[in-house]
Structure 1
Amino acid sequence: MREESFISKVVFFFNKVLALLTFLAYILPFLAPKFFPFLSVLTLLMPLFLILNAAFFALWALQLKRKMLLSGMVLFFGITFINKFYKFSENNLPSETNDITLMSYNVRLFNLYEWLPAQDVPEQITEVIQDYNPDILCLQEYSPNDRVRLRNFPYKFVEVKGGKNKYGQAIYSKFEIINKGEIDFPESSNNVIFADIVNLKDTIRVYSMHLQSIKISTDIHENIDENKSKFIFKRISEAFSEQQLQAEMIKEHYQNCSYPKIICGDMNNSAFSYVYRTIKGEMKDAFETAGKGFGKSYNFDFYPARIDYIFTDNQFKIKKFKNDTKVKLSDHFPIFTRVSLEK
């Protein structure tokens, strides 16, 4: 029998380490981040873990080696996670008269601090919203701006804080808002707002969420050293612990609502996290139901980060979902869905 090469042994060692980390990441959505804050960072790496396991599987399969069974088993047990990461086909059902369209968009204060060189970002964002023409619009990192003229919405709920430069969230609606409110997170500038909206004879509740940010910029990959890596991991783990409390507050609040619900917005966490699992509960993820591709919602180079979501109660039929990665007017991309309320 031919002796296995040293390189093959080393490669399989890394394959085994990867398999162990991936299985650990599978378990983490069921464990509260406050108990394992550092390990919770692994959930952000799940897409990379899945891709690398697929690469190892292909490597050993091409060589007809039984080693492929390790990554094959990892991928088999993680098949439900793959669907959260990538969708091969979309579900785009015909529109009907009673359909409701909703857009959620973190607009990054309409470029208030000129992160982008373009001077007409507020006007461009207005044009994007008008082109989609949603029935309900939820904006995170909203800032009052006279250059943003959303004339199609007779009803709105705006909740902002701060001094000279105010910021917060907004819900705009073509349908009447009969009730509104806020979930105010302790010791945080983030929050959730909600509105009870009457569409024909039906009342639905829409939540717009903006959870604790991990405060990592899109140029994170530049000039990373050991100290910066430790700082980043510490910041992420602390943010995840705060998000746990926020997610549990959201769940407790919506469980007391009898109306059909839609929860959307910027979660600042992956679909493989405890936070995602807590907020989503038994609801539908619009991307999983009707999306296509990676569902990328954050403009992060070289990595398909999906941190913005639309969840619906099971009474809703999700007919379309889109994440528009061509709209680069914020560090987030707008997400859009079309649903119908089933009787």
Structure 2
Amino acid sequence: MLRKILSFLTSLSTLWLLVGVACQYVPPHLFWPAGFVAMSLPGALVLNGVLLLLWLWQRPLWALWPALLIFLFYGQHTRYFTLNTPDAQPEPQEQRITVLSYNVRVFNSYKHLHANNPQLPEQEIQWVAEHTADILCLQEYYNEKGDATYDSRKRIGKEQKRESYIGKALTNKIGAEFGLAIFSKFPIVDKGSVSFDRPTKNQVIYIDVQLPSKDTLRVYNMHLESMAIEEKDVEAAVQSKIGLKTKGRSIARRLKGGFIARSHQVERLMNHILSSQHPVLLCGDLNDLPSSYTYQKLRKHLSNGFEEGGSGFGFTYNGKLPIRIDNQFFSRPLELLRFDVLDQIRFTDHFPLESTYVLASSSEASVD
């Protein structure tokens, strides 16, 4: 009886894996159910791993099939768990490019965000300002000119001898700016934004910087459409039979809208990246899982920092949901020397990503 159950589950996991991987290539704006199937793929990966252990216990020869699936879909596993080690022979200091990307959650400027710690905004901005990175990509950025605490453009930029480019999503009634920001110790020689095909407060901005080698590097900062779900909604849906139906439908509708919006956005973004004549570094809040169409679209042409240099699970969301939605992608001839998720830094609901790159060639290169 147990073997029949295991055989059924093995067939199920195989079909689940095949369909789930296929759905990563289907734009949700053309077929939105693909977004949900791709999102479920980690479940298939875990189930297949459990089946491997159970077959080894029950009938070792039959364990060859789940083992083969792990081998064939190894690249799917490393999107969620890796064991890389830092480069043992880093390049000279002057050739390194150090990067920090961070969703700063408007520097906790709203009262409810710092109610338990009034010093939280000051502590966060000071930490970001004093970080030694050459390039800072900040999402959910906030700047209030003239304010002792929230004049972040001055504190992170001018006072630290960094040039800046701010992509404003909106300006409130007191003139405070919300949006994206890129700060650079390297000279900014060009800048701009990626236009989307429909109105949204989400953005992608970019700068071209001149490196000491005289090469030009293009740096993108992205904040794609939100997942639009909160932990409290998920908890309410799980804990209440009534909530499971009403909240579940609401969550599903919001997820569907996010899948569709991000699939449009990532296509515009990827087209812009492919037109670049310079090596590309893409940082930011993807708001999607590594098994998604959005991630796959970028991963087809760019390398991922966590996959290349991360260690462990690399969760970037500072909450109860174990997910990785913040990323750094890069093109050749950039090479990654080090990548870390700073999960000890808990100012916001995201962890910062810290990395070091080097440009392997003095010649400029476009994306593959």
TM over 0.5: yes
The letter of the residue matching 1:233 is A
Superposed CA offset, 1:61-116 (max 9, x none): 11226554553343232111111111023233435221000111011111122335
Aligned partner of 1:268 among 256, 281, 287: 287
Distance in structure 1 (CA, Å) of the matches to 2:252 and 2:190: 40
Match of 2:364 in 1: none
8 A Cα contact 1:142 1:169, kept in partner: yes
Aligned partner of 2:221 among 208, 231, 240: 208
Superposed CA offset, 1:156-187 (max 9, x none): 01122132353100000111112111123222
8 A Cα contact 2:130 2:160, kept in partner: no
Match of 1:285 in 2: 304
Match of 1:183 in 2: 194
Shift of 1:121: 2.3
User: 5+ residue gaps in structure 1?
Assistant: none
Match of 1:141 in 2: 140
Distance in structure 2 (CA, Å) of the matches to 1:171 and 1:217: 27
Shift of 1:118: 2.0
Aligned pairs (5 A) from 1:259-338: 259-301=278-320, 303=322, 305-338=323-356
Distance in structure 2 (CA, Å) of the matches to 1:251 and 1:126: 31
8 A Cα contact 1:102 1:134, kept in partner: yes
Aligned partner of 1:156 among 164, 189, 192: 164
Say whether residues 1:42 and 2:37 are aligned partners: yes
Aligned partner of 1:25 among 15, 20, 28: 20
8 A Cα contact 2:24 2:34, kept in partner: no
Match of 1:250 in 2: 269
Say whether residues 1:101 and 2:98 are aligned partners: yes
8 A Cα contact 1:19 1:70, kept in partner: no
Shift in alpha-carbon separation, 1:132–1:92, aligned structure 2, 3 A: farther
Shift of 1:302: 5.0
8 A Cα contact 1:262 1:310, kept in partner: yes
Distance in structure 2 (CA, Å) of the matches to 1:262 and 1:85: 21
Match of 2:72 in 1: 77
Match of 2:230 in 1: 217
The letter of the residue matching 2:316 is S
% of aligned pairs identical? 29
Secondary structure (helix, strand or coil) at the match of 1:142 reads strand
Secondary structure (helix, strand or coil) at the match of 2:258 reads helix
8 A Cα contact 2:86 2:337, kept in partner: yes
Shift in alpha-carbon separation, 1:132–1:56, aligned structure 2, 3 A: farther
Superposed CA offset, 1:200-247 (max 9, x none): 212111000010011111334312112222221221122111111111
Secondary structure (helix, strand or coil) at the match of 1:277 reads helix
Distance in structure 2 (CA, Å) of the matches to 1:180 and 1:211: 19
Q: More helix by proportion, 1 or 2?
A: 2
Distance in structure 2 (CA, Å) of the matches to 1:184 and 1:120: 37
Superposed CA offset, 1:20-58 (max 9, x none): 223211111111112321231233333333223211221
Secondary structure (helix, strand or coil) at the match of 1:40 reads helix
User: 5+ residue gaps in structure 2?
Assistant: 238-243, 362-368
After TM superposition, the score normalised by the length of structure 2 is: 0.85
Distance in structure 2 (CA, Å) of the matches to 1:199 and 1:208: 18
Secondary structure (helix, strand or coil) at the match of 2:86 reads coil
8 A Cα contact 1:184 1:190, kept in partner: no
Match of 1:197 in 2: 209
Secondary structure (helix, strand or coil) at the match of 1:219 reads helix
The letter of the residue matching 2:360 is E
Distance in structure 1 (CA, Å) of the matches to 2:188 and 2:102: 20
Shift of 1:9: 4.1
Distance in structure 2 (CA, Å) of the matches to 1:329 and 1:66: 50
8 A Cα contact 1:213 1:239, kept in partner: yes
Distance in structure 1 (CA, Å) of the matches to 2:102 and 2:314: 14
The letter of the residue matching 1:288 is E
Distance in structure 1 (CA, Å) of the matches to 2:78 and 2:91: 25
The letter of the residue matching 2:113 is W
How many residues end up aligned between the 2 structures? 337
Aligned pairs (5 A) from 1:52-91: 52-64=47-59, 68-91=63-86
Distance in structure 1 (CA, Å) of the matches to 2:44 and 2:108: 34
